[in-house]
Structure 1
Amino acid sequence: MVGLLGALCAASARKPAGLGHLTRSAAPGLRARGYGTRPAPTSEYLHRSVVPSMHYQKSLPRLPIPKLEDTMRKYLAAQRPLLDDEQFRTTEKLAQDFQSGAGRQLHDELVAVDKNNKHTSYISAPWFDMYLSARDPVLLNFNPFMSFNRDPKPEYNDQLVRASNAVCSAVRFMKTLRAGLLAPEVFHLDPAKSDTDAFKRLIRWVPSSLAWYGAYMVNAYPLDMSQYFRLFNATRIPRRGRDELFTDEAARHLLVMRKGHMYAFDVVDRDGNLVDPAEIHAHLGYILADAAPPPDFPLGFLTGENRDVWAGLRDELLAAGNGEALRAVDGALFCLCLDDDVMRDHIHASHTMLHGDGRNRWYDKSFSVVVTKDGEAGVNFEHSWGDGVAVLRMQNELYKDMTEQPRVHPGAAAAVDSSAAVRRLSFALSPGLEEGVRRARENFESAVSKLTIGALEFRRGGKEHLKKSGVSPDAVAQLAFQMGFLRQYGQTVATYESCSTAAFKHGRTETIRPASVHTKRCSHAFVREAGQHGAEQLRGMIAECSKYHGQLTREAAMGQGFDRHLFAMRYLANGKGQALPGLYTDPAYAAINHNVLSTSTLSSPAVALGGFAPVVPDGLGVGYAIHDDWIGVNVATYPARNVHDFLQCVDKSLADIFDVLEGKPLR
């Protein structure tokens, strides 16, 4: 994680998603609707936070709208390395006209709208609308993955044991959250003052309308948690033109997929407590033992279709009498996918967690836990409801609970009739629906066949080495991507790095633009002007890149980038039904939003890999993690790019940077 607020600038491993207007509290009451009233035992919760989960939510600062002048200045600075002199003069003139004309009016309107919606952020509703209105399949285009590290106790990586513990920990996380006992998400700049029992006992008595200010006084930054309530019992429902999010907090069952079949059984009892873990283990064992052949027409493929096509097929499913079965899918706590594959390597695991075989996934669920036959596990999540910050927090908590307090142990057994508790969902399919599934399968296979994934482990050093050299680890990684792309393709292209704005109420994400005049100059010095610069000059250029990247990161984390501001004003302009201002029809605006390099970073003791597909056909999806003593990069591409050559170029670039930082001559 990078930047002023640490974890904020990393976790959205795709184009950032939007949650939109929130009309209710992010934390339901003590117990979800439909549950009983018997008090839950302590074992039902991951922990019992002294500070209520949503204690800071009411007092979070609002996401600022940048000054128009600042936005235009930063926009032009980001355009400069991408354009030649003539193109830049054209774009500069359009930006000046926009700032003094249509842009001023749109900015003022945006400020007025924001003042009338103080319960949320100015980006929330348009960002949410953008995602749900997108008609591209969520498969590859939006859903990312994060895989778990393996359990340090090998016997707990058995598929059945690991899946059982994942379910138990997920339910415990859900219950802790809904009871308001999950510790608030806070970034501590001075943990010795703010991350203490004494401070927590004090701040819990500060009114929630003032609590954020109390944390701020001790250099702690509470983060927005409004997305968390969409983690469980939630599904994206396809609708023509614009999808909707569905949540059924009364539902108590889990959705399990295996070989394309769908099963459901309760994991929460009528009192709202976790079902006996031994029974969950038995039920999952029953599903794994089901010898039924795979269905001829697995419905999971439909969730990877074009959204309008899927919406039409869903209407046909409802008309054919499948409403009850679909409600069971939509309302389930989450989806557990039990795969029969054994992972050969990290690349195989990335493909499995990112898309799988299509039949054994329901990509529309808020999140799915995938567990393979050899116990590899990961989370694939639908992106419209929220960003990676919430999913990463959940994944961290699940991994800690699964490995430190497993509820199911090897050899566990329960005297329970699983055949009475587990039901396999059945669907009536017309010839038209069967044809729809067949086409969806063909489209799935065509899409995933074009995707190539490659990985790099750079072992010469990582975070500790770079910090000792006085440079930002994230800046060095981003410089290596710029340098690598220039080495391979001879270009500097539009680059996106995700940065969370969760320090603000209903914050979404902002874009860091790593391609700058500084990275371009430095990359050219290393790649095209080798031997023309001394080591001291090159170190100075790296330091300048690091300094500027740190500035961009701080600005983005504090809501002072330019991308979301321009997006929100364009959203307003589109709503008027009038011709867009020239800034938005400028080819340079389209080009800077055609992110050939889409990047996102995360580092977590729970996460082994993270990844996502490119966001444009000729792009690269670059997930990376900077560890203490090594750097990992996971890249996905389509045929327009060669992932293996790119990774070789990145490896060479990192080696060159480390050589210079260590005072060695370039090789």
Structure 2
Amino acid sequence: MPILEREPPKGRRESYVLPKVPVPPLKQTLDMYLSCMKHLVKEEQYQKTKAIVVKFGEPGGTGELLQKKLLERSDKTYNWVYDYWLEDMYLNQRLALPVNSNPAMVFPKQNFKDRKDSLRFAAHLITGVLEYKERIDTRVLPVDFARGQLAGTPLCMKQYYRLFNTYRLPGHKRDTLVIHKPGSTEQEYIIVACKNQFFVLDLVVNKKKLKEMDILTQLEKIVKMAENSEERQPPFGLLTSDGRTEWAQAREVLIKDSVNRESLAVIEKCLCVLCLDNPSGMEVGDTSRALLMLHGGGHEKMGANRWYDKPMQFIVGEDGVCGTVCEHSPFEGIVLVACTEYLMKFMTGSPSKMGRATSVSELPTPARLLWKTTPHIQGLLKASAERLQRLVRDLDMDVHKFEVYGKEFIKKQKMSPDAYIQVALQLAFYRCNGRLVSTYESASIRRFHEGRVDNIRSATSEALAFVKAMTDEKASLSDSEKMKRLWDAINAQTNYTITAITGLGIDNHLLGLREIAQELKMETPEIFTDETYVASNQFILSTSQVPTTVEMFCCYGPVVPNGYGCCYNPQSDHLLFSVTSFHGSTETCSAVFIKALDEGLVEMRDLCRKSNKPQSSAAPAASKVVENNQGAGSKLPSTLQKTGK
């Protein structure tokens, strides 16, 4: 199995028992699947798909057999979908982690006076990390509870316990999520990356925890050591930026030497990575900061000053560009938000404790990790650098603040801000492409034991009816009819959200049926080789809401070569969007999409203002603010993704 540790975490704050993820009724999922796809494929293809689905669901047929086996699996496991989902979403994926998988959280721009000022910030940040980790290890984090539609339901906390004690180990065909024992003495150190070198910063010396001033002292030593060109090591962090199979092959070469084997083991067991970046030389704006978090600017800038397999990498740039980039397989965006918001509040609310340091002579010199290289390894590093650079050049990023209004205006319309924004995204895409496509919006299922996410399929038939009404000049629909269609779209989005967060979405269920068939060594059922199913898993529009209460934002890349990644952060008086695409696609352009999104949001506001009042028959369902995609950031739910990038 790719992951261990099956027992629910124990602690005085977590005496509740969460239910298992349900297995939805087969007929319900098949009917919903057809409903989701009917308006997205041609009629001829839909009729073909419908016949395949009907046959699959016949009494005594293949579907019923697989459903029975899935129910048996549910009886025997804590969470029937978890391993299937983890492997399909992450561990089986072969694309490079930067841009394609790892999301980033961009902190507010810092104004450092000099390098030492940035190191003070870094020392204070690590002090906050250690405080947060102690809260995790001692199980005193307050339990999260669902908000909105099903408010008060306790949520699974297991993802928090994997922030600092996990590592994604590359494999030739499938990666492994390694979990170290929480609170292990092996983890009493962090790795510091500086000038593409890696150093061990012990956090406990002579059984005493380092104070903040001690951490600063050690960071200063590390910076000085990194500047010593005579001892400089090759930029081995580049290998972790490569495709997963390429990195696994390179790692096999590395571990033939005991020096490399030991350095890798040290990194794999560390608490987290702290990346001390040089000034990037780029104009520091929201978009450039987001790019530096996602890929470091490539090997010519900070792209090698990373170790992308480690879930938590904190980046502190001398020019004030700070944030974190995360390996996504152990946890969702809302857990990342909770951690980083705690750290930001710690940074501003807890004064830096730069008291008297331990005598410098008492602190051992941080160890530089050493590597043995060969011409073959040098060639691997060069190839990784070139592939990273191609990825850097291809990414088209646009971070945009929509300032006309924010979520307060949407709430005044008695609409869910998330549902409203999702409909706006459909309008923007339709305006750019004249069609809707399968859309992914992550939906948290943390109300269940070991719950991660399912998918909210936002490209509803009701959304299509609305966007056509807003763009078809020939239709000449009245404002009241357009408003009715907007409410229909909002309600459809809200209803599907409720379905997904209560464990009754279609994507996890279909995945489970597919994987059960594979385990039984059956010929793949036609429903899963059908053109419609393949298209249903090509998420050209991949979206997540990642709301924050402090000034920072999340971003990630597209999941298919011709797609968009859209992360949004609704605030009271503005909406922040991070939109990504690839320059290599002739079908996408982030700036064009943002322009269409701006126009649509203004038109939707104007429509709401023109309406005398919300349609009373439709308003109640949509007016309930639903806990929607608090699993934000999960993006890649199918092994059927294109792998051309």
TM-score, normalised with respect to structure 2: 0.87
Q: Give how far 1:420 is off.
A: 2.8
Q: Within 1, Cα distance between the matches of 2:474 and 2:136? A: 55
Alignment map for 1:268-283 (pairs within 5 Å)? 268-269=204-205, 271=207, 274-283=209-218
Query: RMSD across aligned C-alpha pairs, in angstroms?
Result: 2.6
Q: Structure 2 residue aligned with 1:228, among 140, 156, 160? A: 160
Mapped to 2, the partners of 1:139 and 1:150 lie a distance apart of 22
Deviations 1:82-114 (A, max 9, x none): 022222211111111111121111111100111
**By how many angstroms is 1:426 displaced?**
1.2
Partner-residue secondary structure (3-state), 2:255: helix
Q: Paired residue for 2:50, among 92, 98, 101?
A: 92
Q: Specify the alignment match of 1:137 in structure 2.
A: 96
Counterpart residue number, 1:193:
none
1:262-411 alignment, distance < 5 Å: 262-269=198-205, 271=207, 274-290=209-225, 291-293=227-229, 295=232, 297-321=234-258, 322-342=260-280, 344-356=284-296, 357=298, 358-408=303-353
Confirm or deny: 8 A CA contact 1:574 1:580 kept in the other structure.
yes
State the secondary structure of the residue aligned to 2:544: strand
* Equivalent runs, 1:577-616 vs 2, <5 Å: 577-606=521-550, 608-616=552-560
Query: Residue 552 of structure 2 aligns to a residue in which SS?
Result: strand
Q: Helix, strand or coil for the counterpart of 1:162?
A: helix
Q: Which amino acid aligns with 2:320?
A: G
AA aligned to 1:512 is: I
AA aligned to 1:258 is C
Counterparts of 1:500 and 1:301 in 2: how far apart (Å)?
33
* Helix, strand or coil at the partner of 2:372: coil
1:622 is displaced (CA, Å) by 0.5
Paired with 1:234 and 1:256, the residues of 2 have a C-alpha distance of 17
Q: CA deviation at 1:189?
A: 5.8
Amino acid at match of 1:404: G
1:418–1:630 distance in 2 versus 1, CA, 3 Å: farther
Kept after mapping to 2: 8 A contact 1:157/1:376: no
Shift of 1:417: 4.4
Q: Distance in 2 between matches of 1:19 and 1:311?
A: 16
Matches of 1:155 and 1:424 in 2, distance apart? 24
Partners of 1:593 and 1:564 lie apart in 2 by: 12
Deviation per residue, 1:615-667 (Å, 9 max, x gap): 001000001111111111111111211111111011111111011111189xx
C-alpha displacement of 1:487: 1.0
Q: Deviation string for 1:440-462 (max 9, x for gaps)?
A: 11111112211110122211211
C-alpha change, 1:22 and 1:74, in structure 2 (3 Å) is: farther
Q: Does structure 1 retain, via aligned residues, the 8 Å contact 2:110–2:321?
A: no
Is the partner of 2:522 in helix, strand or coil?
coil
2:185 counterpart SS class: coil
Specify whether residues 319 and 557 from structure 1 end up closer, same or farther in structure 2 by C-alpha distance, changes over 3 A only.
same
Instruction: Tell whether the 8 Å contact from 1:151 to 1:157 is kept in structure 2 after alignment.
Output: no
Q: Report the secondary structure of 1:224's partner residue.
A: coil
Q: Is the 8 A contact 2:483 2:611 kept in 1?
A: no
**Structure 1 residue 423: Cα displacement:** 1.4
Q: Quote the residue 2:622 is aligned against.
A: none
Aligned residue number for residue 635 of structure 2: none
* Comparing 386-395 and 357-366, the one that deviates more: 386-395
Per the alignment, residue 22 of structure 1 pairs with 5
Tell me, in whole angstroms, the C-alpha distance in 1 between the residues paired with 2:158 and 2:459.
32
Contact kept? 1:145, 1:380, Cα under 8 Å: yes
How far the C-alpha of 1:19 sits from its partner, in A, is 8.0
SS in 2 for 1:617: coil
Q: Secondary structure at the match of 2:360?
A: coil
- Deviation by residue 1:239-286 (Cα, 9 ceiling, x = unmatched): 332222334432211101011000111124564x64111100111122
State whether structure 2 residue 592 is matched by structure 1 residue 645: yes
The amino acid across from 2:210 in the alignment is: V
- Deviations along 1:476-515, whole A, 9 cap, x unmatched? 2111111111111111111110111011001110100110
Separation in 2, partners of 1:84, 1:536: 30
Question: Which segment is superposed worse, 418-427 or 633-642?
Answer: 418-427
1:209-235 C-alpha deviation (Å, 9 max, x unpaired) = xxxxxxx9xx52111112222211322
Partner of 1:662 in structure 2? 609
- Asked if structure 1 preserves the Cα contact closer than 8 Å seen for 2:311 and 2:330, the reply is yes
Residue 181 in structure 1 maps to residue 181 in structure 2: no
CA shift for structure 1 position 531: 7.0
Aligned to 2:28: 70
- Among 490, 493, 497, the alignment partner of 2:434 is 490
Measured after TM superposition, the shift of residue 385 of structure 1 is 2.1
| Displacement of 1:592 | 1.1
Equivalent runs, 1:441-590 vs 2, <5 Å? 441-529=385-473, 532-590=476-534
Match of 2:190 in 1: 254
Higher relative contact order (Cα pairs below 8 Å, separated by 6+ residues): 1
Question: What is the one-letter code of the residue matched to 2:213?
Answer: A
Cα deviation for residue 370 of structure 1 reads 1.1
* Cα distance in 1 between the residues matched to 2:381 and 2:504: 45
The correspondence of residues 97-116 of structure 1 with structure 2, limited to 5 A, is 97-100=55-58, 101-116=61-76
Measured in 2, the distance between the counterparts of 1:570 and 1:442 equals 37
Question: Is the alpha carbon distance of 1:473 and 1:188 closer, same or farther for their aligned partners in structure 2, counting shifts above 3 Å?
Answer: closer
Report the Cα offset of residue 154 of structure 1: 9.9
Once the two structures are superposed, residues 37-71 of structure 1 have per-residue CA deviations (whole angstroms, 9 ceiling, x without a partner) of: xxxxxxxxxxxxxx834333xx1111111111111
Residue 6 of structure 1 corresponds to which residue in structure 2?
A: none
Partners of 1:545 and 1:19 in 2: CA distance: 40
Residues 191 and 199 of structure 2 are in contact (CA less than 8 Å); yes or no, is this contact kept in structure 1? yes
Q: Which amino acid aligns with 2:212?
A: P
1:435 aligned partner: 379
Counterparts in 2 of 1:188 and 1:262: CA distance versus 1, 3 Å: same
Change (3 A) 1:421 1:183: farther
The alpha-carbon deviation at position 115 of structure 1 amounts to 0.5
TM-score of the superposed pair, with normalisation by structure 1: 0.84
Q: Give the count of matched residue pairs.
A: 592
CA distance in 2, matches of 1:646, 1:545: 20
Q: 1:335 to 1:607 in 2, by over 3 A?
A: farther
- Letter paired with 1:437: L
Supply the distance in 1 between the matched residues of 2:114 and 2:553 (Cα, whole angstroms). Answer: 21
- C-alpha displacement of 1:528: 2.0
Distance 1:247 1:64, change over 3 A: closer
Residues 481-490 or 374-383, more deviating: 374-383
Q: Please tell me whether the aligned partners of residues 297 and 438 of structure 1 are also in contact (alpha carbons under 8 angstroms).
A: no
- For 1:397, the aligned partner's letter is Y
Distance in 1 between residues matched to 2:216 and 2:168, nearest whole Å = 28
In structure 2, list runs of 5 or more residues that go unmatched.
613-645
Gaps of 5+ in 1: 1-17, 28-50, 191-215
Give the C-alpha shift of residue 408 in structure 1: 4.0
The answer to whether the 8 A contact 2:466-2:485 is kept is yes
Query: Counterpart of 2:371 in 1: which secondary structure?
Result: coil
Q: Is the 8 A contact 1:168 1:407 kept in 2?
A: no
In structure 2, C-alpha distance between the alignment counterparts of 1:584 and 1:71, rounded to whole Å: 14
- CA offset at residue 24 of structure 1? 4.7
Which amino acid is 1:23 matched to?
Answer: R
